[in-house]
Structure 1
Amino acid sequence: MTSWTTAYLEDCLDALLDYRGKSPKKAPTGIPVLSAKVVKTDGLLRPIEQTIAPDYYKEWMVRGLPAVSDVVMTTEAPLGEVIQLDDESATYALGQRIVCMRGKEGVLDSTYLRYALVSPQQQANLAASATGTTVLGISQKALRRIEISFPDFAEQRRIGGLLAKVDDKIELNRRMNETLEEMARALFRDWFVDFGPTRRQMEGAPDPAAIMGHAFPASRAAELAPLFPAKLGEDGLPEEWVSRALGDTVTVKRGGSPRPIKDFIRPSGIPWVKIADATRCNGPNLFVTREFIKEEGLKKTVELQPGSLILSNSATPGLPKFLRLRACIHDGWLYFPDTGGLSNEFLYLAFLHFKEAIVSQATGSVFNNLKTDVLKRQKFVFPPDQVLAVFDGVVGPLFEKILANEQENQTLAEMRDLLLPKLMSGEIRLKDAEECAE
């Protein structure tokens, strides 16, 4: 077996960029800022809302510039989330509660460092060197003196390359899902917000393909175009379409929480969905939770089955997710026991599109809370059932592919997480891990 070396982290780095101490000046648009809010080991949380002005970048980034393959780690709230920079994210600015590290050539491979830092052993080392009562944080001095174990440089590159190959496939699936979801959102906007097919007829579109915005093959467009009225009514809607409050069609209810909740939380049991579980998800589907509730708490909460649609109403209001597990939701979630014939996919897209309008009505001194009545009063445009059925037939396969990609990502992540600690400890040979990955 390859011999392993243990050394202090600072002796293995060519660069450690630390911009803690103050925050960069924000701008409405510009260069995205990496911070502990968006850096997650599962992938950057997008969209990144904090930005700085391009002409301020050089003024701010005076301690050194990040490079492709550098490793970024959160140092507080939370501690130990890790990503590796690519061509895009390496151009971002560095913000609060993170550090950026670059392995020393020939000593510590940066990709190996990325995976070493998220291994259980290294996460335990970070926690042991951290301080804080409410949240754990690690100083630069303590981080530099963290010990790290590694094999020879060539072996590091092979280990890092194998694990990165798995993560590259996960990232490819994630990007594909972003494209698929944007396709569904664009179709929702065109049909139910902009009334594109009707407006294009009014503007003299010459054929069904043009009426449907050239989004479908000619034969399919010929089937779809006749479903859309040729003009708008006096109310500004396509003829025979109506606008009504969501609550007139959909039953909206709130989850529930047994009190005090800490007495009902357990290491295992029925999954307990927290807002944090949802904000960690890059996609529309929620597969896992970090906490569980015991059976005695079921009478005072709401248990939902896989496939249910939920919408957050506190902390981060207006966030829709499809549950892919049997789970309980607290009173920070809304759910929809009767959708009045509307598909969950239609509602999901509607909530995303009208999120800003819905959330703007949330109130609260500590957290924004979206009251059930506010959502019930939100107006939506409803076409004839035939149009809704056709829409579901178009976007349904898109969401099915998104789900399949996310399920594959779950399997890939589980395999990676199984191999990672064994590779980082030298417990299994690289050849065996490669065969497992294949």
Structure 2
Amino acid sequence: MIIGRKGAYRGVHYSRRPFFVIDTAFYLKPKVTLDARWAYYQLLTANINGMDSGSAIPSTSRDEFYKLPVTLPPIGEQVRIADSLMLLDDRIDLLRQTNATLESIAQALFKSWFIDFDPVRAKAEGREPEGMDAATAALFPAEFEESALGLIPKGWCVGTFGDLAVLGKGSVNPMDFPTSTFEHYSLPAFDAGQLPILEEGASIKSNKTRVPRRAVLQSKLNPHIPRVWLIGDADKQAVCSTEFLPWMAREGASPALIYCTLRSPSFEAQVRTLVTGTSNSHQRVKPDQVASLAVVAAPPVVASAFAALVEPMLGKVLANRLKAQNLAELRDALLPRLISGKLRLPEAKVQLEDALA
């Protein structure tokens, strides 16, 4: 058990593996029979960050920490409570790991097809392209030709990102609709887990950009921290921060292709060269500059084959994100009630079984 005690490191952390700490953290050593996982969950219900030592940098006070009141159940009850809550955390971790794998597969496929041209290279060398059936392999040529960007597959062309995507237009002031519920895509919501926040118009204090269905959002702020948001089917009342650029796929492209293009390291590197502003907190890119960046455009049949493979993966990513959020909300609702004894384990298990089914 680790207690981060200074500045941004404050909070409670549980590690299943051996660890070491420096002077920005405490570690806990039990004096009584104690399940470390139960102690972790118990401390999550305490206001650790409110125990300031009074220094200029926020720091958790050791003396105040020792004064925390604790009702310690028998070890068997500790284990059962921790097991139940850990089931949720383990499933959340698994969903996040699955999403990371799916994203990696999608990006690897994009790089192979549209950056490295692996299927074309294989055919040019007399080999069968790896990882695809004969029908898909037949969509790729067996030769390269010169272009402004160097060698590209024969029959493909050099275009711009604007040939693949168009920027969504339209703004709205949610405060004009104070009782309407908006699906709000903000920078903090992206950083917190890439899920929008449902908010009433009255609580959204500035103009927002309308979010078209199946758009891909790209942050124009601080491109050294890439934020590209695949959102799926946005609500008709969806809005986003004006710091986001809502790109819509043109005919012949797809949200999957737009998303993978914006996420690719080579494209991100180009975007970073477009920044204006003198400080990191004010650097931005202009949408017309992003639209003018050069890309290698494949024929529509290749783009369609890519979408057929990748869109189901990315759809699973979106579903897993929502599932992880629902499980986290259930955990956060059960946690204080289980730790305090206000909710008995048999009642909690019914909710857990329904959520994990």
TM-score, normalised to structure 2, is 0.82
Superposed CA RMSD in Å reads 3.4
Cα distance in 2 between the residues matched to 1:363 and 1:329: 22
Distance 1:367 1:167, change over 3 A: same
Q: How many residues align?
A: 342
Distance 1:238 1:173, change over 3 A: same
Cα distance in 2 between the residues matched to 1:394 and 1:420: 40
The answer to whether residue 241 in structure 2 is matched with residue 330 in structure 1 is yes
TM-fit CA distance, 1:94: 5.4
Q: Is the 8 A contact 2:169 2:210 kept in 1?
A: no
Query: What code does the residue aligned with 1:320 have?
Result: V
Query: What code does the residue aligned with 1:362 have?
Result: V
Give the match for residue 337 of structure 2: 422
Distance 1:140 1:403, change over 3 A: same
- Unpaired stretches in structure 1, ≥5 consecutive residues: 1-69
The answer to whether residue 275 in structure 2 is matched with residue 362 in structure 1 is yes
The answer to whether residue 313 in structure 2 is matched with residue 398 in structure 1 is yes
Give the match for residue 140 of structure 2: 228
Q: What does 1:216-365 align with in structure 2 at a 5 Å threshold?
A: 216=132, 221-235=133-147, 236-252=151-167, 269-281=181-193, 286-289=194-197, 293-294=201-202, 300-304=207-211, 307-315=214-222, 317-323=225-231, 326=235, 327-337=238-248, 339-353=250-264, 354-364=267-277, 365=279
3-state SS of paired residue (1:150) = coil
Deviations 1:213-265 (A, max 9, x none): 2x13xxxx21111110101002211011112121244223588696xx9x99x
Deviations 1:177-226 (A, max 9, x none): 21121111111000000000111112221xxxx32x2x13xxxx211111
Distance 1:322 1:74, change over 3 A: farther
Deviations 1:125-147 (A, max 9, x none): 33543378999653444434433
Identity %: 26
Distance 1:106 1:73, change over 3 A: same
Give the match for residue 108 of structure 2: 186
Whose helix fraction is larger, Structure 1's or Structure 2's?
A: 2
The answer to whether residue 7 in structure 2 is matched with residue 76 in structure 1 is yes
3-state SS of paired residue (1:175) = helix
TM-score, normalised to structure 1, is 0.68
User: Among residues 117, 129, 135, which one is paired with 1:195 in the alignment?
Assistant: 117
Q: Is the 8 A contact 1:255 1:334 kept in 2?
A: no
TM-fit CA distance, 1:409: 1.9
Q: Is the 8 A contact 1:254 1:372 kept in 2?
A: no
TM-fit CA distance, 1:437: 1.2
User: Among residues 67, 89, 95, which one is paired with 1:173 in the alignment?
Assistant: 95
User: Among residues 288, 294, 300, which one is paired with 1:373 in the alignment?
Assistant: 288
Q: Is the 8 A contact 1:78 1:136 kept in 2?
A: no
Cα distance in 1 between the residues matched to 2:179 and 2:338: 27
User: Among residues 131, 148, 151, which one is paired with 2:73 in the alignment?
Assistant: 151
Query: What code does the residue aligned with 1:280 have?
Result: A
Give the match for residue 11 of structure 1: none
Cα distance in 2 between the residues matched to 1:132 and 1:429: 39
3-state SS of paired residue (1:403) = helix
The answer to whether residue 84 in structure 2 is matched with residue 162 in structure 1 is yes
Cα distance in 2 between the residues matched to 1:165 and 1:184: 29
Q: Is the 8 A contact 2:189 2:195 kept in 1?
A: no
TM-fit CA distance, 1:340: 4.0
Q: Is the 8 A contact 1:174 1:405 kept in 2?
A: yes
Distance 1:77 1:71, change over 3 A: closer
Q: Is the 8 A contact 1:131 1:137 kept in 2?
A: yes
- Unpaired stretches in structure 2, ≥5 consecutive residues: none
Deviations 1:256-284 (A, max 9, x none): 696xx9x99x9994243332221222xxx
Cα distance in 2 between the residues matched to 1:303 and 1:345: 20
Q: Is the 8 A contact 1:361 1:370 kept in 2?
A: yes
Q: Is the 8 A contact 1:256 1:330 kept in 2?
A: no
3-state SS of paired residue (1:161) = helix
Q: Is the 8 A contact 1:254 1:331 kept in 2?
A: no
3-state SS of paired residue (2:158) = strand
TM-fit CA distance, 1:399: 1.6
Give the match for residue 436 of structure 1: 351
